[in-house]
């Protein structure tokens, strides 16, 4: 797929991952990119390309900078074959901070899952995580099917790094609305702060979401923070 737009790239990711969810009966997914050369703590938020994780979990993850101790990000880059979150806890180097992130995820309804890394054709690295809202024992057949299905993501287009380095061209007002939204303000709150109507606030936020290829306000905030559009 040559010269695809950001929206086309994300749509392709969603199509493949959502088909895997249906086939394997998972509830949630996240596809993101990380620095393949960083085997220590993650110093910045992963580049989130597409996810349907609960918004409250995403907000909590960002505000508490859980990427610094997320075992899915830390260990996921080291495995090219799917591994269950349960087995991550058996890995050498798994710490109490890693465990606290998994326990916290369970509190937000992400109770079990698998993760794996994908090396794209251009050498970039993606982490794919599939999660269930209930406790689930993942047998070898499910893991093998996940491995075969998810590998299709490596062939669909340009590198995630290339996608994220593009110019999103948000207006000043869109950035302002998104920044206040990141601080937990509602459309009515932002309306009063900026002295514009709440409908206008919603218009700017929807426009920002479209430019960022984000399916929700929370996801737009994640991408805006990761790309330096609004501060962490």
Give the chain's domains with CATH numbers.
6-158 (3.30.450.80), 168-226 (1.10.10.10)
pLDDT at residue number 36: 55
Edge-to-edge strands, sheet with 47-51? 47-51, 28-33, 125-132, 112-119, 83-84
Of 91, 96, 61, nearest to 78 by C-alpha is 91
Of 128, 135, 129, nearest to 112 by C-alpha is 135
Query: Around 22, how many Cα atoms within 13 Å sit in the side-chain half-sphere?
Result: 6
Six-digit token string for 170: 């948000």
CA distance 112 to 197: 42
Per-residue pLDDT of the chain (232 residues; tens, 9 = 90+): 444 566 677 777 888 888 888 888 899 999 887 765 554 445 566 777 788 999 899 889 988 889 889 998 888 777 778 889 988 888 888 999 999 999 999 999 999 999 988 876 555 678 889 999 998 888 888 888 888 887 777 666 544 444 444 567 888 899 999 989 988 899 999 999 899 999 999 999 999 998 888 888 888 888 787 777 886 6
Distances (CA, A) of 121 to 47, 76, 152, 153: 18, 18, 11, 10
pLDDT at residue number 165: 45
> Which residue is listed with tokens 């010269």?
3
pLDDT at residue number 220: 86
Rg (CA), the chain: 18
CA distance 72 to 42: 11
CA distance 226 to 223: 5
C-alpha 223, offset from chain centre: 9
Of 155, 149, 160, nearest to 124 by C-alpha is 160
pTM more than 0.85: no
Query: Around 75, how many Cα atoms within 13 Å sit in the side-chain half-sphere?
Result: 24
- DSSP H or E segment with residue 11: helix 6-24
CA distance 170 to 208: 6
């Amino acid at each position: 797929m040559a010269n695809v737009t950001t929206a086309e790239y994300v749509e392709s990711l969603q199509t493949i991952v959502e088909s895997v969810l249906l086939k394997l009966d998972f509830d949630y997914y996240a596809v993101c990119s990380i620095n393949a050369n960083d085997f220590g703590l993650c110093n910045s938020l992963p580049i989130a390309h597409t996810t349907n994780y609960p918004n409250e979990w995403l907000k909590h993850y960002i505000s508490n900078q859980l990427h610094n101790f997320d075992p899915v990000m830390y260990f996921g880059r080291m495995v090219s074959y799917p591994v269950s979150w349960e087995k991550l806890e058996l890995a050498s180097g798994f710490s109490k901070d890693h465990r606290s992130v998994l326990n916290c995820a369970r509190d937000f309804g992400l109770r079990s899952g698998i993760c794996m890394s994908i090396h794209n054709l251009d050498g970039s690295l993606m982490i794919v995580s599939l999660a269930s809202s209930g406790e689930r024992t993942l047998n070898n057949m499910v893991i093998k099917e996940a491995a075969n299905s998810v590998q299709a993501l490596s062939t669909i287009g340009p590198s995630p790094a290339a996608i994220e380095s593009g110019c999103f061209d948000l207006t000043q007002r869109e950035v302002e609305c998104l920044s206040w939204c990141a601080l937990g303000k509602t459309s009515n709150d932002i309306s009063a702060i900026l002295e514009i109507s709440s409908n206008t606030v919603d218009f700017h936020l929807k426009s920002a979401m479209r430019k960022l290829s984000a399916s929700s306000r929370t996801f737009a905030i994640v991408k805006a923070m990761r790309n330096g559009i609004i501060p962490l």
